[in-house]
Amino acid sequence: MNSFPINSIREDFPILKSKINNHDLVYFDNAATTQKPQSVIDSISNYYEKYNSNIHRGVHSLAEKATNEFEKTRTKIKKFINAKSNTEIVFTRGTTEGINLISSSLGKYKFSEGDEIIISEMEHHSNIVPWQMLAKEKNLKLNTINVTDEGKIDLNDFKNIISSKTKLVSLVHISNTLGTVNPIKEIVEICNTNNIISVIDGAQASAHSVIDVQNINCDFYVLSAHKMYGPTGVGVVYGKEKLLEEMPPYMGGGEMIKEVKFSGTSYNDLPYKFEAGTPNIGDVIGFKEAINYIENLGKDQIIQYEDKLRDYAQKELNSIDGFRIIGNSENKIGIFSFTIENFHYYDLGLLLDAKGIAVRTGHHCTQPLMDKYNLDGTARVSLALYNTEEEVDFFVDSVKNLLNR
């Protein structure tokens, strides 16, 4: 792990110098949102200080500068996930809006009464509720893939519940609760063989794995900037151009139009057909710097470091008496949802906060998964590229001290 420049990386994130309750901050809530390097913060400030303007609508210098920087982010994302074209990259406010865009737009023309949609038991609420709403509206059937005790998708169950009426499968790439990395390429191949639309929730995967949408060959891939060291309020829908061309707009208003008359409106070309209104310009521009930061470090180097830190953390966490990790797939990232015997997760979260340690407590927006494991919630440690073995040690020692009080 010495070859990874962890000390200089930590210097790039100003919040990591914070004191929480007179302790150094140990930030272990990265699955909820990651912290931001100074370069991202500076990029957003620079937009508002130097060239704040609306985009795509003006010919003055500020508007042209803002438009160019905004569109550079689209190009950067296209390369980051290996999409074929900028036209396949649609900006949203986040993964949640992205999935809602897909479900709403496809729902207007792609489904008939009795059609079926498949999700899994490990999905985030954002990949459950939109499909429930569509199923209720269109009288569709929503099927769920079983998750094994180890926290893996049961592929045999998936194959068994596919029918001639299955029109769409929407699955998480990496579980925000279990850390499980799902076999997305294999699942998408099954979908393509059966002429089923595939939607992949990549919110957790974007910062922790290499994403190649052409290699995966999915129809849609959705992600959020704030899970990958970028700002909140920015997301991306990747969609195959053919499908995006077929789909009606999600919202109406400015930018998504080509011509408006009271007799009728024609819509803009891709991707602008799905980008109604003034977007979150400054934060989209900041997102480009987040991707630059990841690329400058090197995705392979980040993954190698995080894998080693995951293995170290798992070993040390298991040394805690009464400690139980929920989800033990052999293919997972550094996300550990856990319970401790005779210790409520909420109390644990408060006591750790007193030590400056930030962990998540609750159901993690995966209540059906909690129900499966007969839990009302867990505590969760989720690691990122700026976390260290020393922080893991401090966490483990702090928990052990709490248990021995």
Distances (CA, A) of 185 to 25, 171, 217, 369: 38, 11, 7, 23
The DSSP symbol for 69 reads H
DSSP letter, residue 57: S
Question: Are the C-beta atoms of 187 and 158 separated by less than 8 Å?
Answer: yes
Q: Is 218 a catalytic residue?
A: no
- Residues sharing a CB contact under 8 Å with residue 114, sequence separation 6 or more, in sequence order: 139, 140, 141, 165
* Residue 292 C-beta-side C-alpha neighbours within 13 Å: 15
Distance CA 202, CA 71 (A): 22
**What is d(CA 176, CA 336) in angstroms, rounded to the nearest whole number?**
9
User: Can you tell me the distance from the alpha carbon of 166 to that of 111, in angstroms, rounded to the nearest whole number?
Assistant: 10
- The whole-angstrom separation of Cα 170 and Cα 237 is 13
**From the candidates 155, 190, 365, 403, which is the catalytic residue?**
365
- Token reading at 156: 């045999």
- Write the CA distances from 15 to 34, 38, 228, 257, 289, integer angstroms: 11, 9, 16, 41, 17
Do the Cβ atoms of 100 and 129 come closer than 8 Å?
no
* Residues tagged active-site: 365
